[in-house]
Structure 1
């Protein structure tokens, strides 16, 4: 059975970014999350993370489509 929620460390690992960067995504509202427990630790639902990844793929496709080939890195 897969987990419904991920800790920020798991999100960071999945996206190959730092935990601090994952926290920034959550605090900015770019990656929706909830706070749980007495210490208010952040949790990201696995389906929400997948939606975020798919949204970023769509944004990247659009960016590439709108940039001339000479501007591509």
Structure 2
């Protein structure tokens, strides 16, 4: 978390209380616009190399789901 170690229950409670006071909700954050373009530009040279790794991870996850069924 933000302090560099596993949070204890008191730290989690402090975080939740202050998050609520600040009006922040926890949800996925999607990039768009210029920040998205920066990430895509930075990742573009690596995409072809990473595709097989991603495909293997997806296949492994699919196997685990199928085994649970």
Higher helix proportion, which one?
2
Q: Is TM-score (shorter-chain normalized) higher than 0.5?
A: no
Larger proportion of strand? 1
Q: Which has the higher contact order (CA 8 A, sep 6+)?
A: 1
> TM-score if structure 2 supplies the norm length?
0.36
When normalised by structure 1's length, the TM-score is 0.34
